Amino acid sequence: MKKLGVRERIIATASDLFYNQGYNQTGINQIISEAGVAKASMYQHFRSKEDIAVAYLTARHTMWMGKLKECVSIQNTPKGKVIGCFDYLMEWLKEVNFRGCGWQNIITDLPDSHEKVRNQAVHHKNDVRDWIHKLLKDENEYTDIEAEQLGDEVLILIEGAIILSQIQKDEWPIKVAKNACAKLLA
C-alpha cells in the first residue's frame, strides 16, 4: 500500500475527525497530531481549518459520487438508476452507522461566514441534483421540465431519508423514500 503524502494524510485525518466528531469539535492541533505532521508542514498545504474542510468536502464528493454511480451501474434503465440511489444510501448509511450526510453535518456546524465550505456543500448537492435530472431526461419519458421537477422531488426524498435515518439510527426512512420514489416515477 502506498504511503500517503503530508497533504493526503491531513485530508484523511481531517475527514475522519470532521465526519465523526464535527467541525467545531475538531481543532487544528488535533488534526496535526493525529495526522503525524509538523505544524509548518500543515500550514504549507493549508492556510486555515476552513481550507482543510474544503479539501475534505472535495475529496468526499469525488468518493461519494463515484460509489453512488458504481452502485447504480447494475441498473439497466435511467429510472432504475434513480431508484437505485436509495440502495446506495442504505449501504452507505449502514457503513457509517447512520452518521448522516457529511455536507449537512458540517453546514449545520458552521456560521454563515464560512462561505468556501458552504459553496462546496452547495456544489455537491447541485451535482447530485444535476445527475438525477440528466438520468430522468435520458429516460425519454419526461419533458425536460418534468424531468427537472421530478428530479427535485427525488432529491428531497433522498435528503429527507438521510436526515431521518440519522435521527432514527435506522434504515426504514430509506426504504419508505425508495418506495415513494418508485411510485413517483411510475
CATH code for the domain in which residue 78 is found: 1.10.357.10
Q: Within a domain: residue 42? A: no
Tell me the residue type at 113.
S
- Predicted confidence band at 118 (pLDDT cuts at 50, 70, 90)? very high
Is 124 domain-assigned? yes
For the cut 80, the answer to whether the pLDDT of residue 68 exceeds it is: yes
Cell of 129: 441534483
Using an 8 Å Cβ cutoff, are 80 and 36 in contact? no
Alpha carbons 158 and 181: distance in angstroms, whole number: 9
pLDDT at 159: 98
Domain assignment present for residue 44? The answer is no
Question: Exposed, middle or buried, 150 (CB in 10 Å: 0-12/13-18/19+)?
Answer: buried
pLDDT at 2: 63
Task: Tell me how far apart the alpha carbons of residues 186 and 184 are, in angstroms, rounded to a whole number.
Answer: 6
In a domain? residue 161 = yes
Within a domain: 30: no
pLDDT of residue 35: 97
Residue 144, Cβ neighbours under 10 Å: how many?
Answer: 10
Examine residue 109 and state whether it is found in any structural domain, yes or no: yes
Q: How many domains does the chain have?
A: 1
Query: Is the predicted pLDDT of residue 113 greater than 90, yes or no?
Result: no
H-state helical runs in the chain = 6-21, 28-35, 39-45, 49-72, 78-95, 102-109, 115-138, 144-168, 172-185
How open is the CA angle 2-93-59, to the nearest 5 degrees?
Answer: 40
CB 40 within 8 A of CB 10: no
* Residue 17: C-alpha distances to residues 30, 31, 83 (Å): 9, 8, 31
Per-residue pLDDT, averaged over 102-106, amounts to 94
Computed over every residue of the chain, the mean pLDDT equals: 95
Q: Give domain status of residue 24, yes or no.
A: no
Average pLDDT for 161-168: 97
> Is residue 62 over pLDDT 50?
yes
- As a whole number, mean pLDDT of residues 31-57 equals 97
In this prediction, residues 170-177 reach a mean pLDDT of 98
Domain that holds residue 152: 50-185
Confidence of residue 31 (pLDDT cuts 50, 70, 90): very high
Task: Compute the average pLDDT of residues 138-149.
Answer: 94
Give yes or no for residue 129 having a pLDDT over 60: yes
pLDDT of amino acid 1: 47
**Does 32 reside within a domain?**
no
What the block records as the C-alpha cell of 77 is 434503465
Confidence of residue 4 (pLDDT cuts 50, 70, 90): confident
